[in-house]
Copies of this chain bind each other. A is one copy, B any other.
Amino acid sequence: MSFNTFGHLFRVTTWGESHGPALGATVDGCPPGIALDAAMIQQWLDRRKPGQNKHTTQRREPDEVEILSGVYEGQTTGTPIQLMIRNVDQRSKDYGNILETFRPGHADITYFQKYGLRDPRGGGRSSARETAARVAAGGVARAVLQSLAPGLSVRGYMVQMGSMSIDRRRFDWDQIGANPFWTPDAVAAEEWETYLGAIRKDGNSVGAVIEVTASGVPAGIGAPVYAKLDTELAAAMMSINAVKGVEIGDGMASAALTGVQNADEIRMGPNGPEYQSNHAGGILGGIATGQDVVVRFAVKPTSSIHTPRGSVTRDGENTEVVTKGRHDPCVGIRAVPVGEAMMACVLLDQILLHRAQVGDGPRGRIGG
């Protein structure tokens, strides 16, 4: 089925196609009495907005969110919140040639195979524009988290572009907002600038790795077995367009560790247990330890490129595809606020689930 909903209790259903009249998110299960207005959501959409610099698609969408329901006099009422974003700058003619052919590496062919038809304008539902709805919903989640988990912060940033990783020794939180790549490494930002310029000029594209860190996550949220915090995060990140891998803490590198290396040792601190390392990425047995929750995901290079690649037509003829139109040479850049939004939604959902089963806050206290 379609299943365009995520979340168990804080349930977000996104809808809309790239070049339809509008897109949005239906947010159900939001607690009541939370201060919320369009501006609080708009700030996050503005971060994601295309056309802000030469490294993202030149499509110019204002991405203005309207709240159609669920908010009364600046407060959530506990009923569904409808967030709508009108599409404005649809230049569908740019995409005319893709109706009969399928871009290699793109969802064109599988949508056709699944449904027998598809909305080809701008990739339809498979477009990265769908992520605007996620960012809007994430704005609601953040507003609720401010109230339910005041110290919690969620921050995303790029740690790798193509084969070039950041140097962790240069990690500077303040750099993240100061460059077009949301990277904490100022030196990397400069190198990537040059690199990505060349990629774009070549009519090519490149992948990236995004990391999202949540600090101040209450110990005890999460669940064993299937609604594990890490399971939910893996699903949330893998559901973003073009993501092909997800890691928690040390991720794939955990395989190369021994048990002695991997054990995050614990010492008692003034406010409770303190971990000496964070290989686990803040999650043990699916449940938050209280440390930073750290997730990474790989975004593959944009499949819409100006370089010809072999493909087939709907009629079964071999052909070469060159995608015209405006595209991101590194779609990973715009995935940063999307990853943050997903993290915020998942954490809120898990906080609500925990509150349902156990009540507020963790149950077991260490050191009385």
Contacts and interface: CB of A to CB of B under 8 A. Distances in A.
A72 interface: yes
A344 to B, nearest CB: 16
Contact of A102 (B6, B226, B266, B359): B266
A249 interface: yes
A117 B20 CA distance: 36
A152 interface: no
B265 A311 contact: yes
Interface in A261-293: 261-268, 272-273, 276, 279-281, 283-290
Interface residues of A, number: 168
A13 interface: yes
Nearest to A114: B220
19 contacts: A1-B29, A2-B30, A3-B29, A3-B226, A14-B80, A15-B80, A22-B69, A22-B82, A31-B358, A72-B119, A77-B118, A105-B264, A207-B254, A230-B244, A244-B251, A259-B302, A273-B316, A276-B310, A356-B356
A124 B26 contact: no
Given A79-B125, A107-B285, A113-B363, 7 more contacts: A9-B357, A30-B357, A72-B118, A79-B224, A126-B285, A245-B246, A273-B312
A125 B26 contact: no
A293 B223 CA distance: 28
Nearest to A296: B252
Contact of A124 (B72, B117, B299, B316): B72
A124 B263 contact: no
Q: What 9 pairs between A and B have smallest CB-CB spacing?
A: A316-B367, A107-B285, A116-B363, A3-B227, A205-B259, A110-B287, A356-B356, A245-B251, A234-B238
Among A228, A266, A283, max chain B CB count under 10 A is at A266
Contacts of A14: 80, 225-226
Contacts of A116: 32-33, 358, 363-364
Among A13, A102, A224, A318, max chain B CB count under 10 A is at A224
B110 A265 contact: no
A4 interface: yes
Given A220-B110, A259-B303, A23 B244 contact: no
A280 B368 CA distance: 48
Number of copies of this protein chain within its complex: 4
Contacts of A314: 364, 366-368
A257 B4 CA distance: 29
Contacts of A82: 15-16, 22, 24
A54 interface: no
Contact of A260 (B22, B248, B305): B305
Nearest to A256: B163
Nearest to A242: B254
A77 B302 contact: no
A57 to B, nearest CB: 14
Nearest to A163: B256
B111 A224 contact: yes
Interface string A319-339: 000000000000010000000
Given A9-B1, A239-B231, A279-B105, A248 B244 contact: yes
A255 to B, nearest CB: 4
Contacts of A226: 3-6, 14, 235, 239
Interface string A198-217: 01000011111100000000
A253 to B, nearest CB: 7
Interface stretch (A39-47, A171-179, A347-355): A347-355
